[in-house]
């Protein structure tokens, strides 16, 4: 067991303004994945082990559609320009890759609770290809009867024939990246549709009454005010949508938006002001009667929205991954498909494995997942962490005893409160939840893991296996 000589980097600032000043470093999309790389010459054997082992953890699947019709100014994950003739052949490749799992032991185990089509822009596909892709994977994969099937996309390309095809094929959740209804701000971000266009599309989807309709909204955008942020959220409520995510603007170096800001053409909300927007959005949603089910996600009072995939992706579930650039995790091992569209296509067509990178869990992974699951629900449950330690291979000092200094310090900083046996996040704690999670995980890994596995830097995140889809593309950065 190693020791941490200086706890200061893991602590929050004790300040009268925790929303603005609790941490200095920029807020990240995801906490560390707590795994160690598999050497290149060991990857094929590791992959075969995954395929030949039945699953025991909750499961789901992710499908990556790596095309975009235009490059949004804020996005740092743009991969391939959309071509109309690319859709059908790409769907063929994904279905062919999925078919290679047939008969493998890894298909055995708990049925998959979620199937997520992300990107990129899945709604760029033609209606017939959306139908083929969704229907084909429903046949190939062991889905649970109540499986949440999400189609992500943009208003720009989601026409009525595509909506009908998606719902007919089995999609029961739609997630669209709206970001803002304000036409002026939308145009400055490279969004093509006006406020009225977006509202009409959402009204059409709601009128079909066939799926949970969820949208992403962003705060901290150039030109945005607290009043325009409130106006956006009021429209969300008036439309009767099933769910909405609140994401802080991610200023990624090298993106068109960042270049415009550096040239003085656009001015975003400052980092220290982001917390004010988060708090104001929280107040508005609570006043309108919405339920907060994660630090960034809100659910209306209806019964449709469950956000199964988002919870599972952030808390350690296993998931199949199909498509160029997709990342997944099976039997605890994370993996990445080749991000080169051409290379991925050649490998799949030749019947070869498109995986080009893997990492293995450590003894610490179950505890890390318990912490991340709790933080995703804004509540640390000591009993869940203790159970995770008992189920893991971790030996030595009790995890909760080691974690106690951080839990006490975060309470002093106004980020947590103790209620019964739980440690609940305050509003500032929910705003900074990823930074806190990163520090708790790094604090414990610094005690339990060798230095080459723990990364004793405390607050520096590793790449999340889904850094190519929306949960990393539009998240709580500054």
Q: List pLDDT tens digits, range 78-128.
A: 566 767 788 999 999 999 999 999 999 999 999 999 999 998 899 999 999
Q: List pLDDT tens digits, range 17-32.
A: 999 999 987 544 444 5
Q: Which of 313, 328, 353 is the last residue of a domain?
A: 313
Q: Which residues pair with 357 in a beta bridge?
A: 336
In a shared domain, residues 30 and 42: no
In a shared domain, residues 27 and 81: no
pLDDT category of residue 470 using cuts at 50, 70 and 90: very low
In a shared domain, residues 56 and 184: yes
State residue 72's pLDDT score: 58
Q: What is the spatial distance between Cα 150 and Cα 427, in angstroms, rounded to a whole number?
A: 29
Cβ burial 141-160 (10 Å sphere, 16+ → b, else e): bbbbeebbbbbbbbbbbbee
Q: Is the dihedral of CA 199, 202, 208, 213 positive or negative?
A: negative
For residue 440, with 0-12 CB atoms within 10 Å meaning exposed, 13-18 middle and 19 or more buried, which class applies?
A: buried
- In whole numbers, what is the pLDDT of the chain averaged over residues? 88
Q: Which of 34-48, 71-85, 226-240 has the lowest mean pLDDT?
A: 71-85
In a domain, 319, yes or no: no
Distance between start and end Cα atoms, the chain? 35
State residue 474's pLDDT score: 40
In a domain, 200, yes or no: yes
pLDDT category of residue 326 using cuts at 50, 70 and 90: very high
In a shared domain, residues 28 and 112: no
In a domain, 299, yes or no: yes
In a domain, 425, yes or no: yes
Phi, psi of 37 (to 5 degrees): -65, 150
In a shared domain, residues 30 and 52: no
In a shared domain, residues 25 and 89: no
In a shared domain, residues 112 and 24: no
Q: List pLDDT tens digits, range 161-210.
A: 999 999 999 999 999 999 999 999 998 887 889 999 999 999 999 999 99
Q: List pLDDT tens digits, range 436-449.
A: 999 999 888 877 66
CB atoms closer than 10 angstroms to residue 345: 18
Q: What is the spatial distance between Cα 247 and Cα 471, in angstroms, rounded to a whole number?
A: 9
Q: What is the enclosing helix (H) or strand (E) of 423?
A: strand 422-425
In a domain, 339, yes or no: no
CATH number at residue 262: 3.80.30.20
How many domains is the chain built from?
2
Q: List pLDDT tens digits, range 381-404.
A: 999 999 999 887 666 778 999 999
In a domain, 335, yes or no: no
pLDDT beyond 80 at 34 = no
135-141 contact pairs (CB < 8 A, 24+)? 135/169, 135/170, 136/91, 136/95, 136/98, 137/61, 137/63, 137/94, 137/95, 137/98, 137/322, 138/169, 138/170, 140/95, 140/98, 140/99, 140/101, 140/102, 141/61, 141/98, 141/112, 141/115, 141/320
In a domain, 198, yes or no: yes
Range of the domain at 410: 8-34+363-462
DSSP β-ladder status, 212-219 and 173-179: parallel
Instruction: Give me the percent of the chain exceeding a pLDDT of 70.
Output: 86
For residue 65, with 0-12 CB atoms within 10 Å meaning exposed, 13-18 middle and 19 or more buried, which class applies?
A: buried
Q: List pLDDT tens digits, range 291-319.
A: 999 999 999 998 899 999 999 998 889 99
Q: What is the spatial distance between Cα 337 and Cα 331, in angstroms, rounded to a whole number?
A: 16
Q: Which of 313, 333, 351 is the last residue of a domain?
A: 313
User: Between residues 183 and 260, which one has the greater pLDDT?
Assistant: 183
State residue 440's pLDDT score: 94
In a shared domain, residues 47 and 114: yes
In a shared domain, residues 299 and 370: no
In a shared domain, residues 101 and 236: yes
Q: Tell which residue, 184, 169, 134, 144, has the closest CA to residue 60.
A: 144
In a domain, 354, yes or no: no
In a shared domain, residues 239 and 380: no
In a shared domain, residues 406 and 437: yes
Q: Which of 67-76, 172-181, 396-405, 455-464 has the lowest mean pLDDT?
A: 455-464
pLDDT beyond 60 at 467 = no
């Amino acid at each position: 067991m190693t020791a941490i000589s200086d706890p200061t980097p893991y602590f929050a600032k004790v300040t009268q303004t925790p929303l603005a000043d609790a941490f200095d470093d920029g807020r990240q999309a995801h906490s560390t994945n707590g795994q160690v790389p598999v050497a290149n010459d060991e990857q094929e054997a590791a992959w075969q082990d995954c395929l030949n082992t039945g699953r025991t953890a909750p499961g789901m699947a992710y499908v990556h559609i790596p095309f975009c019709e235009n490059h949004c100014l804020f996005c740092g994950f743009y991969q391939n320009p959309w071509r109309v003739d690319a859709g059908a052949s790409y769907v063929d490749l994904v279905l062919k890759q999925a078919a290679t799992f047939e008969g493998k032991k890894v298909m055995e185990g708990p049925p998959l609770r979620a199937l997520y089509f992300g990107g990129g822009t899945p709604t760029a596909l033609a209606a017939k290809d959306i139908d083929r892709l969704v229907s084909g994977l429903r046949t190939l994969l062991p889905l649970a009867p109540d499986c949440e099937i999400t189609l992500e996309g943009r208003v720009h390309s989601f026409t009525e024939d595509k909506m009908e095809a998606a719902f007919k094929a089995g999609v029961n959740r739609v997630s669209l990246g709206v970001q803002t209804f304000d036409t002026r701000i939308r145009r400055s971000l490279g969004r093509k549709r006006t406020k009225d266009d977006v509202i009409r599309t959402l009204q059409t989807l709601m009128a079909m009454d066939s799926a949970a309709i969820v949208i992403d909204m962003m705060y901290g955008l150039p030109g945005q005010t607290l009043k325009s942020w409130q106006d956006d959220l009021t429209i969300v409520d008036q439309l009767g949508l099933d769910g909405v995510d609140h994401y802080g603007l991610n200023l990624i170096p090298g993106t068109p938006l960042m270049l415009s800001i550096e040239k003085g053409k656009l001015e975003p909300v400052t980092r220290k002001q982001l917390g004010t927007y988060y708090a104001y959005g929280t107040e508005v949603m609570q006043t309108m009667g919405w339920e907060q089910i994660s630090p960034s996600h809100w659910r209306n009072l209806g019964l449709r929205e469950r956000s199964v995939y988002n919870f599972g992706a952030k808390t350690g579930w296993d998931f199949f991954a199909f498509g160029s650039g997709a990342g997944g995790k099976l039997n605890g091992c994370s993996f990445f498909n080749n991000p080169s569209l051409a290379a991925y296509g050649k490998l799949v067509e030749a019947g070869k494995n498109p995986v080009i990178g893997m990492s293995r869990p450590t003894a610490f992974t179950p505890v890390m997942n318990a912490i991340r699951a709790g933080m995703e629900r804004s509540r640390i449950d000591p009993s869940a962490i203790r159970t995770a330690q008992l189920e893991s291979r971790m030996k030595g000092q009790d995890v909760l005893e080691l974690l106690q200094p951080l839990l006490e310090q975060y309470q002093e900083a106004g980020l947590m409160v103790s209620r019964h046996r739980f440690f609940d996040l305050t509003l500032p704690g929910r705003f900074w939840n990823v930074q806190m999670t990163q520090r708790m995980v790094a604090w414990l890994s610094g005690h339990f893991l060798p230095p080459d596995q723990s990364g004793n830097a405390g607050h520096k995140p590793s790449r999340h296996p889904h850094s190519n889809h929306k949960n990393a593309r539009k998240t709580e950065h500054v």
